[in-house]
Amino acid sequence: MESVIFKTVSHYINGQKVAGNSGKFGFVYSPSTGQKLAKVSYASPEEVDQSIALAKEAGAKWASTSIGKRVNILFKFRQLLVENTDKLANLIGKENGKTISDAKGEISRGIESVDLAIGAPHILKGEHSVNVGGKINAYSMKQPLGVVTCISPFNFPVMVPIAMSTMAVAVGNAMILKPSEKVPYSALLISELWQEAGLPDGVWNVLNGDKDTVNSIITHKDIEAISFVGSTKVAEIIYETGTKHHKRVNAFGGGKNHMVILPDANMDQAVDSFLGAAYGSASQRCMAISVAMTVGQKTTELFTEKLKLKVENLHPGSYDDESADFGAVISAEAKQSILNAIDQAVEEGANIVVDGRYPDVDNKDGFYLGATLLDHVTPDMTIYKEEIFGPARAIVSVDRIEEAIQLINDHQFGNGVTIFTNSGRDARKFIEEIEVGMVGVNVPIPIPVGYHNFGGWKDSRFGEGQMFGPDTARFFTKTKTVSERWFDQDDSDEVNFNFPSS
């Protein structure tokens, strides 16, 4: 059994670990064992003020550092991420509960964002026009915003903070990261890697805390931009509060991601794809497939029959158990919420095909749930309408592709969706008509690679800007356009009261 560490997790301010003096703290648990690992300090408003002031000072110097020197530090940071993958993955497993192999996949995807940020010199290039009129040259430049903040969730302790923040740092901003208080260890190790890579003190800072800490950060006069990933309810609050205080905000919320299976799909491929996309990471992914939407009664029967056999053989286990298909959910509260959702679905008329509510695991104190599969689910049921952040997945049967498209378009969330088919015609129809931000065709989790933009539609995102891709550079910079003319000695210019034109 894992021993209790039970020490206080610090903040990281201006290149130093700072214990925190607010007197407020929360506990960090190991999902695999249910034990307390540590207590984490919550930053006070005074600590927020101090860290932002130091970041502002450091950020001004960082912004004037040549892009070449910045990129050299990013190269070193990338190499350190690779070299410390095992250490990072072990930390993720301890505080998040996901398996080591899953954690390594998360780190790999995070490194893609660093790869893109290394290309910042190209992305930051402005426009230039010669002699737009009257010997005037016009050009634009992109400049950093100043101090920005990223507020990251528990489910990706490394990938999301890196994806949210690396480009912001590359283009010259100072960063305040507020990680989920449930997973503070990974953020501190990332901080150490930035320091080892040569990032100047104060450019990267970590403040742990609760909603009061968040509110102090996002309303602070010197915070210029906010990037958030979490639940839809909180995303909307972050967006409304941040924009009210004149911040640039992108806030990514939840999803209810559908996999549409047409009758002509390769059913074995569809089943295997659904299995990993639906239950990986104990279904604690905003891009996890929540609903299998089967088209036609025969498709429903065949898909359910094949899927049932495989779901029955899935088993959760400790993060370091190589035989486990997925780990525990993040907390006892999360486990109970998922159990409540399953019970409510049954009360509303759903049928349990595979019951994973009480899995056979070695450590009964861990926050484990097995894979649950429900069918006879209808669009009016709560389990269809709401995001269930845990391994309870639903099958919804429809008669035609048009019905599938309409149901998905009517849903409040628009994060991700995928279709499994061998028909190019039906796939094209689906792509063109579906109102969802990220679409897959025979791809189970349509999350883009790090150099393409990530972002859902509808209540899955508030504000503009992306988390991956080149739009991150646009989000974390402001454009300045210059019109410039130099006179020759013999040039003269008459007074003209007309509006300037070429």
In DSSP terms, which residues pair with 463 in a beta bridge? 250
Task: Tell me the C-alpha distance between 331 and 182, whole Å.
Answer: 9
Task: Tell me the C-alpha distance between 491 and 488, whole Å.
Answer: 5
Task: Tell me the C-alpha distance between 6 and 223, whole Å.
Answer: 33
In DSSP terms, which residues pair with 16 in a beta bridge? 13
Q: What is the largest CA-CA distance in the chain?
A: 90
In one-letter notation, the amino acid at residue 475 is F
Backbone angles phi, psi at 141, to 5 degrees: -140, 150
Distances (CA, A) of 406 to 10, 398, 437: 49, 11, 15
The residue to which tokens 């609760």 are assigned: 210
Task: Tell me the C-alpha distance between 273 and 327, whole Å.
Answer: 19
Backbone angles phi, psi at 158, to 5 degrees: -115, -50
State the virtual CA torsion across 232, 235, 236, 241 in degrees, nearest 10: 160
227 in helix, strand or coil? strand
Task: Tell me the C-alpha distance between 137 and 130, whole Å.
Answer: 5
CB hemisphere CA count around 49 (13 angstroms):
4
Q: Retrieve residue 33's tokens.
A: 């064992």
- For 150, the enclosing helix (H) or strand (E) is strand 147-151
Task: Tell me the C-alpha distance between 277 and 61, whole Å.
Answer: 44
Smallest CA-to-CA distance from 280 within 183, 390, 186 is with 390
Burial class (CB in 10 A: 0-12, 13-18, 19+), 105: middle
Strands 438-441, 204-206: pairing is unpaired
Catalytic one among 9, 286, 287, 394? 286
Smallest CA-to-CA distance from 282 within 306, 234, 313, 317 is with 317
Active site residue 150: no
In one-letter notation, the amino acid at residue 333 is E
State the virtual CA torsion across 400, 405, 408, 410 in degrees, nearest 10: -110
Other CB atoms within 10 Å distance of the CB of residue 231: 15
Residues taking part in catalysis: 286
